[in-house]
Amino acid sequence: MTSPTSTASASHSRLAHNKPQADLRHPHFHHEIHHPIAQPDTYEPNRLGTYREYMKVYVAEFAGTMILVIFGLGANCQVSLSTNTNVSPTPKGSYTSVGFGFAVGISLGVWVSGKISGGHINPAVGRIPPISRLKPLENISQVTLAMATFRDFPWKKVPGYVFAQLMGGLVGAAIVYANYFHAINVYEGGSGVRTLSTAGNFGTYPLDYMTNVSSFFSEFLGAAILVFVVFMVTDPGNGIPSSVVPMVLFVVLLGIAISLGMETGFAINPARDLGPRLLTAMVGYGGKVFSFRNQYWLWAGVIAPILGGITGACFYDIMFASSDVWNANHRFGRMSVSFFQ
């Protein structure tokens, strides 16, 4: 026979066993346990979110181009201005430093904007594929104009991309100008004195012996090489990981700078030249930055890189493009497949 005391003790033990135990490891173990609230599967998009999604690709292009220009023009200014002993007791860098500055700028600019907008940062040499999304044909990277011509980038987005790139170039140049404002005053010999000798740190100007035809060819050649390499390295048929594309651009731009860039300053990018040139016109250099050599900025800084980029893209696609790229993006390719089947 069991005693009443033992019966009560057993009953109390069973109740204690069945009672939910608090987790003593949790800092709020004495609180009641709350069940999570079910969340809806979808949310209604708000106007701000829709606007943000629409604008972020253009903001990414703006940021990528700005980074390219800050590093490139920053190197330009440091190397050029430091040759004056009143600015710096010893020169800081050499022409190779300028090449590295632009190479670093294009790599970082593409890394920053690549996953969002494709990392064009150049109206003529534009789009790098979204990082980690190289294989699908609809995401093949190209250049803003060359890619709209030879790939599937929508033409309706071209004006917005080009405008964002130009504004990125202008703002990047403004940041560099603000940083070197006093050094420019010292170099020029007085506050407010502005000549083409320092304007060349922002826009591109050819050496005196360069003819107009030679200048055009130099810019055409550099842009053609750059776009050719971009098309090659972003062709899915070549099996090159998209993560290495920024480093390839680093190498090719550095190569162009140290082998072909001396005579004209290797603009090979309308946004890199026109944006900073607009800035110089606004801060006191005047209209001479545009009237120089009968609008050098237009035919050597804009037209030559665009035509060079399209030529490089066309040459790659005709001679080297993988069959998947060719058949998916070219009417002639699709016709030839149908003919030979």
**pLDDT category, 337, cuts 50, 70, 90?**
very low
Q: What was the pLDDT predicted at 341?
A: 40
- Rounded to the nearest integer, the mean pLDDT of the chain is 80
**pLDDT category, 127, cuts 50, 70, 90?**
very low
**pLDDT category, 111, cuts 50, 70, 90?**
confident
Domain residue limits, the chain: 53-340
Q: What was the pLDDT predicted at 321?
A: 84
Mean pLDDT across the stretch 172-196?
97
Higher-confidence position of 237 and 91: 91
User: Is the pLDDT confidence value at 37 over 70?
Assistant: no
Of the candidates 235, 200, 195, 202, which has an alpha carbon nearest to the alpha carbon of residue 73?
A: 202
For 1, which DSSP code? -
Burial class (CB within 10 angstroms; exposed 0-12, middle 13-18, buried 19+) of 278: buried
Q: What was the pLDDT predicted at 97?
A: 97
What is the separation, in whole angstroms, between the first and last Cα of the chain?
96
- For domain 53-340, give its CATH number from 3.40.920.10, 1.20.1080.10, 1.10.10.60, 3.30.450.20: 1.20.1080.10
User: Is the pLDDT confidence value at 248 over 90?
Assistant: yes
Higher-confidence position of 11 and 295: 295
**pLDDT category, 161, cuts 50, 70, 90?**
confident
User: Is the pLDDT confidence value at 277 over 50?
Assistant: yes
How many Cβ atoms from other residues are within 10 Å of residue 260's Cβ? Answer: 16
Between CA 44 and CA 72 the distance in angstroms is: 43
The rounded percent of the chain whose pLDDT value lies above 90 is 52
Q: What was the pLDDT predicted at 126?
A: 45
**Residues 137, 139, 145, 151: what is their CA dihedral angle, to the nearest 10 degrees?**
10
Task: Provide the residue type at 208 as one letter.
Answer: D
User: Is the pLDDT confidence value at 28 over 60?
Assistant: no
Q: What was the pLDDT predicted at 329?
A: 60
**Residue 21 DSSP SS3:** coil
Largest CA distance in the chain: 120
Q: What was the pLDDT predicted at 204?
A: 97
**Residues 198, 199, 200, 205: what is their CA dihedral angle, to the nearest 10 degrees?**
-140
Q: What was the pLDDT predicted at 53?
A: 78
Which range among 78-82, 156-160, 310-314, 316-320 shows the weakest confidence by mean pLDDT?
156-160
Mean pLDDT across the stretch 32-57?
65
Between CA 230 and CA 135 the distance in angstroms is: 15
User: Is the pLDDT confidence value at 39 over 60?
Assistant: no
User: Is the pLDDT confidence value at 15 over 80?
Assistant: no
Between CA 212 and CA 206 the distance in angstroms is: 9
Do 88 and 46 form a contact (C-beta atoms < 8 A)?
no
Q: What was the pLDDT predicted at 30?
A: 47
Between CA 160 and CA 293 the distance in angstroms is: 30
The rounded percent of the chain whose pLDDT value lies above 70 is 69
Q: What was the pLDDT predicted at 47?
A: 73
Q: What was the pLDDT predicted at 243?
A: 83
